[in-house]
Structure 1
Amino acid sequence: MSNTRPNFIFIMADDLGYADLGCTGARAPVSPHLDRMAAQGLLFTHGYANSPVCSPTRFALITGRWQYRLRGAAEEPLTGRYRGDKIVGLPPQHPTLPSLLRDAGYRTALVGKWHLGYPPHFGPLKSGYQEFFGPLSGGVDYFQYTDSVGKRDLWDGETPAEDHGYLTDALSDRAVRFVEQARAGEPFLLSLHYTAPHWPWETREDHAESQRIGGRINHVDGGSLATYRRMIQQMDEGIGRVLAALEARGLADNTLVVFTSDNGGERFSDNWPFVGQKMDLLEGGIRVPLIARWPARIAPGGTSATPALTMDWCATLLDAAGVQPHAEYPLDGISLLPLLRDPAWNPQRPLYWRMLHRQQAALLEGCWKYLAMDGHEYLFDLGQDERERANLAQREPARLAAMRQRWQAWAAQMPPIPAEAQARLVFGDADIPRASH
């Protein structure tokens, strides 16, 4: 094993369903490169997103803390109407994964979606990234780069970017270039955050569809299963090119590459065997594909059933780099380095979620899951019932009450959802088409 500090590439898809990859059960051959990556590394069967919607998960990833600790994560999600907002976003003074690694000598870059607040008060270059290429908002048109309010949104640093063709390919191109230009002896963090397969549903062959919808990216009259699968395939092709660039530079052995999704899938996604989708704390909204490859440290062909949460990767990458978190901002996530060495390692910790939409709450303890939604309570044994069909609340009232109490005790430690955030939650302006509900 090399004694040099490892490089990191963290790849995040957008709205990818649990079973949308071949290695997680896809019904079509759309992900040969990611499937190969899983075979060469570790496949997590219990990867969880910090939230069933975009921005909160990204707050958790970049800070390594419960997203609920930050005001911006109460907004679900951060749409274009927050341009210029001074409050809703990631405060530049908050330590982040890229800022901590940057200060330790890492080169840091975000290629892809930011979605954590708008300039002039927020932005990736203010929160630890030295390079940025991508959209600041959530979903954008793949050819015109327009966001949910019709504003063009593709940036190279803090400068509006020119036409780069199909967005998924443009992000892959920039990520490959970053790897090819990596400096000898300077470790790097590359955050590659695709917008695929988030709507609008456009492949690189669908420029005419982009013209048809005319910037109405949250359209509900387009897309198909074939289009969706092709979007995944084209993202996978780009990831294959990034992995090939690592090999060509001789960097693959000591680079930890992680792939996951920001939340569960919607519309055309395959979340099998789970029910629910994006916006839900049912398993379909929070169980996501998760793969890690690091030839120097991870044995190939492994599978782990240990639950892992998005925010754990901040702690993991800092640990792998030998970088301490900021003392005034202790991490809520845990380092998964022991798990990367031993897929059976399991710290047996509780995982919590809170969601303003439908007044949801969830607690996972081992195989038991407490869920509150729409004023109803549920208790599921996921070891026997991953589809969350058998509500055991009446059969196990003591367990239900105890788990409810533990969730309430945890929630009491988090800042409450601000009243103005609750008032602003209007689904016509949310990061998901209305017809998906």
Structure 2
Amino acid sequence: MARYHIETYGCTANRGESRRIERALRDGGHAPAEGPSDADVAILNSCTVVEKTERNMLRRAEELEEETAELIVTGCMALAQGEEFREAGVDARVLHWDDVPTAAMNGECPTPTPDSEPILDGVVGILPIARGCMSDCSYCITKQATGRIDSPPIEENVEKARALIHAGAKELRITGQDTGVYGWDQGERTLHELLDRICDIDGDFRVRLGMANPKGVHGIRDELAAVFAENEELYDFVHAPVQSGSNEVLGDMRRQHQVSEFVEVVETFDEALDHWTLSTDFIVGFPTETDADHEQSMALLREVRPEKINVTRFSKRPGTDAADMKGLGGTVKKERSKAMSELKMEIVGEAYGAMVGDERRVLAVEAGTGDSVKCRDSAYRQVIVRNATDHGVEPGDFLDVEITSHQTVYAFGTPI
């Protein structure tokens, strides 16, 4: 598992974002380091309140870049003035808060710990439905911690979901190292049955399915898409990490799917759903990735145009087979990451820009920065409602909004 170091500057809202990031990393089985020099990744949650603060952020970013294996910069300065870090020559990934946990995990699966149990965090209920996976990716260390898939019976998970809803959960997040292979250890593919049963629980709530590798989804894609189409409780959101657009690289990664299978999953959901969000991940700079392989990944990204994209530069994890491969230079990985990240912002910005002028039904999920609330529409796209107190909006509320503008990776909505 990765060791992380987080530094937070600025207001209470920034500290809250750091706590959320750290909670996600710990839920994924990762642990804090004693300091930046001991960390696999350092996270700088930045502030930009005055010019002196900006200078301090740049100086600290430069120091952290020297001290740690990899640096992620997030926070207000990253979002408002991300180009400042690039112009200063800081080799860091500049990311929105929401994208930090997945990026810091280096493309690895989340790692529920042996004592993982459902928890209620505000109006969000987190339900781990299984532990382990069926994969053996050459770059991922989490398999060593979790082993093969271990799926509790459907009824057991339904009862846990019901308890969370009765305790006040308005959004259920279904988690696991690979939700797509739920039930495989019992000789059945039953994820779609579990989701259908959860949606039958009495109450007004939404359900978000967590990460599912393309291979697992591919085998039940028709059944799964039908369950999504039939249940409004399910966010029309699928997170299927493809990791590369090259079958050769996928083979070296020991991913179990082919690019064509990933595309078939996308096509199936395109046919079943009018408005849905595809989330996927790419690892750039894998040791065997050639220029041609990278171009295949870029071409796939242009073809399927996911609304949420996590771009991760490959870094070695001790004890994995990929750690013994001769790596690519840092410059190559940086250039490929930059090219893909720029394309990502273009695609995601286009998706959120197309929402402007629409009316959407959303669920307010958690407090945002200042007097704002983060909401999700039916496809789990993020909609920010500002001046929430004036509108009487708080987490747990369902409301109709008009999308008035966007900021590339999220939209702004005004209650109707």
Shorter-chain TM-score bucket reads: 0.3 to 0.5
Which protein is richer in helix relative to its size?
2
More contact order relative to length (CA 8 Å, sep ≥ 6): 1
Which protein is richer in strand relative to its size?
2
**TM-score, L = length of structure 2:** 0.33
